[in-house]
Structures are given as structure tokens and as C-alpha cells.
Amino acid sequence: MTEPANPPVAAWRARLQAWRNATQALLLRSLDVMRLLTERIMGFLRLFATLGLLLIVLLVVYQALQSAQLVLVKPFAVPKSMTDRHADAGRVIANTLKQELLLAEADIYTTVQRNSRNGKVNIEAVTGKTDDYLLGAAIKLPETGISINDVVEFIASIFGRRNITGSVYQDQGKLFLQVELEGRMFSFERELGTRDPNALNMDLLRDMLRESRHRLLSVASESHNLYYYCSGEAEANEHTESQLAALFDYCTRLQSAQLTPASLGALLDELHATRTQRFTSNNDTLRHILAQITGNALDKTRLLCPDYANTKVCQAPVVPEAANLSLSLPAPMPAAAAAPLAYPALPDAKAFQADSLTMRSMMRVTLAEQTLTLPSVKALQADCEAQPAAKSEAILTSNRTEGDATLLYNNNRPLQAVEKYAQAIQQNCGNAFAWANLGILLMNTDPPLRSVEEAQRALTQAVSLNSRIDWIQNNLCIAHAWSAPLETLPSAINHAACDVARTLNPANKVLLDKQFYLALADRYFAEGAYSKAADTYQAALSADRKRDCNTKKVIETLALLEAEYGIVGGKQAACAILQDALPLPGGKISACEAPLAAFQCSTD
């Protein structure tokens, strides 16, 4: 017989079991609550993560859009020997270039603001501040290894942002710099001399970077390109499909050495047209550029048509002004030669175009005992020996003056042209184009200004400044031919300068030969060797016949040789040349087309 359980113990056991069950139920309920709370928290975290990622994406897209039209400067590639000394050499060079670009843009802003109507100018920036867009370089997207900056770069490239990259290296005692933007590569070099090749040499690099900034900004922005192109600080129109093509065309026409009073008058009429003014009405930069173009055109009127301010019609003066520079001429002056020497068209020096000048010096002088006292080429050389190298502003001014001189010469005003060439040389003794064109003028103009000896001296000086320009070398060869004995002229083309010219640019051999033989024919004509002159004129145009001013000169001279000097077949040869002459490429019309069309040939 079993003993009955102790009632108190059984009760406690029941209570303990109930408490245990309640605790388990509470724990299970708590776990359910925690699970539910965790799910809710995870949901919120997912939402916050999604929103955060969305914000990051929006920030990336915003930064990409903000910098889409900018150019950013990337760290340069530099030699290991340089990075061993300067770990951040590539970034230092990039920051220096960025600073130069920003300074160049600030110069434009200051210039435009100074000339704006209300002093408020809104010019769109081109150079991006790199620091603003590299904040995400160290932030990686999860499980990708891709930084925020990489994403910005990719998206920005889609919207059009461009990067400037570059490299620095040394070779054969020189420091080289290359910068690239949108496929355009610009290269610069400087002599290292006694400098340490492994050092950063920031003074040389800064000088080259400063030289590159206008070219880079011209590639980056069409408005910047227009600004620099019209001021002569950019060599070419980098945006051939530009919406600003009309303004580029105005500057091209204004800078042409073939500008005439008639074409200048037509250009001024277009510049003053209402539609042209309306085209720039909402853009301060374009308005400023148009004002500069108009001002430069008005400056040209002082050279080609001084009465324009009163008549508003650009016509060449009947009696040109006399200059007070060039050579010392004896009295009485020798009579002019009978040879009809046409003035050759001098080449444009596009790499040396300059900013506009606000004043022109055209000085009238009184001839005293028929003597003009003008500095000789030798005197100009002596003055240059004591002058330091010209600074950038003086170089631009000199190049502009040289362009004015070429314009005067091509408009048959050689005395004023000599004045301007001498002035350009005094402004910058290193202006090879001014020296060369001065030599060409002195060789091709009529007495008493003609001086082959002075021409040789000027052309030799030009070659010493820049020996890699084919037409300068060719004209030096021509100058030697002009001073050589008449019987040796056929072998004059073997002169070293002629060989160098054709070696520099073999593709131009036909044109260089044409120029050389035209000069020889002029020499034969001037010396009275009319038969040889006729043969040489025909030889000059044997391989290249176009409807241009050279053809006009040759056919008129051949006709003259038959009519006045008895050279049989001259007129027939002239007509054969005219018949074979091809139109100018690109549909261009020569300034001599009218006399070419009027030249009478027999139809028998």
C-alpha cells in the first residue's frame, strides 16, 4: 500500500510547472515579437540602404552632369627617376596646368567684364576644379572594388566630359612635355642644359604648360577658340562644324594678307549688319569678340583706305603716304626698271598672328633733296644684338605689325610695308617672318627700294632664326640667284638653300620650283635677256598651271615680249598656258580672275 503524496509538494510542483509553461510561452511570444521587430528593422534598413544608394547614384549623376562640359586635368605620367624624388610629381604637374588654365580663363573674364555694358558677365567655365570631383576616390561600391569616382568618370564621359592627359620625359639633354585632349596632341620641349635631368624642373615645365593653355582651351571650347583665334593667339579653327562659323570666317578674312580695300569694305558692311549684331546680343563673350573684330577691321581701314572714317567707303588712296623707314637712298634716284614686276603674294604667318593694336603709325615725311633716310637691314641687325628676347606681349604685337606690313605690300604700297616690317623687327627681333618678308620685298620691289644685297642679309637672318621653313630657304636661294652672274643662272637652283627647302618639304617641290623659275624669268627680263625670259616663264608654269595671279603675270608678260620685244610665239604660248590653267581648288576665285577672263586669244 503506497503512501499518499504530500499535498504541499504536489501543489508546488504544479505551480512550478505552470510557471515554467508561462515562462516558455512568454519567451516564445518575446521571440515572436523580436523576430517581428527584427524583420521590421531589416525592412527599414533595406529601405534606408536603398534610399542611400539612390542618393549616391543621384549624386554621381548630378556630379557627372555638372562636369559634363568641363575638362579635367589628370595626373601626368612621369619617369620613375622623377617619381623617386617626387612621389606626387604627376599630380603636381597636373595641378600646375589646371592653375594655368584657370588663370587664362580669368584673363578672358576680366577682359570681357572690363568692356561689358554693365560689368556683369556670365562666362561658362571650361576647366573643372578636380578636387570637387575626386571626393569619392576612396569610397568603394560593395563587392565591386569600383570607386564612386570611377562611376562619376564613366557617366561623365557619356555626357561629354573630357580629360587632359599628359606625359613628361627626358631625352638627349632635353625635357619634353606632351599634353592630349580629344585626340589632339601638343608637344613642347626645352633644353635642360646643366640642369639635373631627374629633378622636377618646374620652371621649364611651367613655361611649357603656359604655352599649351591657349591650345587646350581652344580644343575644349569653341567660344574660347574663337576668342584666341581672332586675337591671333590660336593658330586654327579647332571646331570646323561650329555654330560660330560666321565669326570664325570674319576673323579669317580679316587676317588674310590678300585683303583688299573692296573686300575690307564688304566685311565692314557685314559686321555692321543688324543680323550680325543680333547673333551676339545675348552673349557677352561673343559681343566682345564681335566688337574686337569690328575694331580690328576699322584699324585696317587706316592702312588701306584712310578716308573711310569720313566717306564710309573703303577705297585705296590715289597717292599713297610716304614712309620714313628702310634704306638710305641716293639722290638723284635711278630710273625705274622697265620690267613689269608684279608684287608676289607673301605667305600668311598663321603661327605668329597677334592681338589687335588700337593705334597705327602712318607717318608723312617731306622728301629733302630726293633722299629718304631709312634704317638698313644691317642697322636693324645691330640694334637687335643689344635687345633682350621679346616677351609674349611684344611677340604678339610684332606679329600683328608684320601682318599689317604684308597687307600693305600685297596692296602695292611697298614703302609703308618696309616701315611696318622694320617696326615689327624692332618689336621682336626674333620674328623670322618679318625678316623673311622684308627680304622678299627688298628683292622684288622696284628701284630705288630694291636691294638684293639687303634682301640676302634679311633672308639669312630669317634662316638663322628658323631654318625649317621651306619658303624662306627657297627665297634665300632666289636672292642668291638675283646676285649671281647672268650666265650662271641655270645652275643657281643647286644652291644649298634650294636643296634644304626641297628636303624640308618634298611635297612642295613643284611649287618651290615654280616660285624659283618665276624669279629667274624676272631676272632675265630685267637684264634684257628677253628670249631666255620667255623660255623660263613657260618652264615655270610647265608643271603647275592654275587660274591665279602668277598665271596672269606670265601670260601678260609673254604677250608683252612678243608685242614690244619681238619674241615670236609669246602670245601663242600665253594662250596655251591660259587654256590649260585649272580652276583653284575648293571653288575659290582668284583676285586676278577678271583679267584672266578678259585676256584675248585668237580663235583661229
Written in H, E and C, the secondary structure of 304-372 is HCCCHHHHCCCCCCCCCCCCCCCCECCCCCCCCCCCCCCCCCCCCCHHHCCCCCCCCCCCCCCCECCEC
Q: Is the pLDDT of residue 41 over 70?
A: yes
Task: Of 49-58, 316-325, 374-383, 532-541, give the lowest mean pLDDT range.
Answer: 316-325
Q: Domain limits of the chain?
A: 71-220, 245-311, 321-466, 545-604
Torsion sign across C-alpha atoms 534, 340, 547, 403: positive
* pLDDT attached to residue 48: 85
Between vectors from CA 256 to CA 251 and to CA 257, what angle results, nearest 5°?
A: 150
Q: Is the pLDDT of residue 367 over 80?
A: no
Q: How far apart are CA 365 and CA 196, in angstroms?
A: 56
Buried-exposed string 505-540: b where 16+ CB fall within 10 A, e elsewhere: beebeeebbbbbbbbbbbbbbbeebbebbbbbbbeb
Q: Is the pLDDT of residue 431 over 90?
A: yes
* pLDDT attached to residue 375: 66
* Nearest alpha carbon to residue 511 among 521, 522, 498, 524: 498
Q: Is the pLDDT of residue 343 over 60?
A: no
| Whether 453 contacts 433, CB under 8 Å | no
Q: Is the pLDDT of residue 344 over 80?
A: no
| Residues 246-254, mean pLDDT to the nearest whole number | 88
pLDDT tier for residue 362 given thresholds of 50, 70 and 90: very low
More confident residue, 483 or 158: 483
Q: Is the pLDDT of residue 204 over 80?
A: yes
Q: Is the pLDDT of residue 420 over 60?
A: yes
Q: Is the pLDDT of residue 25 over 90?
A: no
Task: Of 46-60, 66-80, 117-131, 238-252, give the lowest mean pLDDT range.
Answer: 117-131
Q: Which long-range contacts (CB under 8 A, 24 or more apart) does 533-538 make?
A: 533/557, 533/561, 534/558, 534/561, 534/567, 534/569, 534/570, 534/573, 538/573, 538/577
| Whether 401 contacts 357, CB under 8 Å | yes
* pLDDT attached to residue 43: 83
Task: Of 114-118, 484-488, 548-552, give the lowest mean pLDDT range.
Answer: 114-118
Q: Is the pLDDT of residue 335 over 60?
A: no
Q: How far is CA 430 from CA 388, 423, 435, in A?
A: 10, 13, 9
Tell me the three state secondary structure of residue 469: coil
Q: Is the pLDDT of residue 128 over 80?
A: no
Q: Which long-range contacts (CB under 8 A, 24 or more apart) does 526-532 make?
A: 526/337, 526/339, 526/341, 527/486, 529/486, 530/561, 530/565, 530/566, 530/567, 531/567
* Nearest alpha carbon to residue 433 among 394, 388, 400: 400
Averaged pLDDT of the chain: 81
Q: Is the pLDDT of residue 353 over 50?
A: no
Q: Is the pLDDT of residue 357 over 60?
A: no
Cell of 432: 623670322
Cell of 435: 625678316
Based on the number of CB atoms within 10 Å of its own CB, is 100 exposed (0-12), middle (13-18) or buried (19 or more)?
Answer: buried
| Residues 275-294, mean pLDDT to the nearest whole number | 76
| Residues 90-98, mean pLDDT to the nearest whole number | 91
* pLDDT attached to residue 556: 93
Peptide bond into 448 cis (omega under 30): yes
Q: Is the pLDDT of residue 327 over 50?
A: no
Peptide bond into 317 cis (omega under 30): no
Cell of 148: 564612386
DSSP secondary structure string, 476-511?
HHHHHHHHS-GGGGGGGGGSHHHHHHHHH-GGGHHH
Q: Is the pLDDT of residue 372 over 60?
A: no
Torsion sign across C-alpha atoms 200, 395, 356, 111: positive
More confident residue, 301 or 371: 301
Q: Is the pLDDT of residue 326 over 70?
A: no
* pLDDT attached to residue 536: 94
Cell of 93: 604637374
For residue 26, the tally of other CB atoms under 10 A from its CB is 10
Task: Of 77-81, 146-150, 287-291, give the lowest mean pLDDT range.
Answer: 146-150
For the segment 551-594, what is each residue's pLDDT rounded down to a tens digit? 999 999 999 999 999 999 999 999 999 999 999 888 888 888 89
* pLDDT attached to residue 2: 52
326: phi then psi, degrees, rounded to nearest 5: 150, -90
More confident residue, 162 or 553: 553
* pLDDT attached to residue 309: 84
* pLDDT attached to residue 365: 33
* pLDDT attached to residue 275: 63
| Residues 92-109, mean pLDDT to the nearest whole number | 90
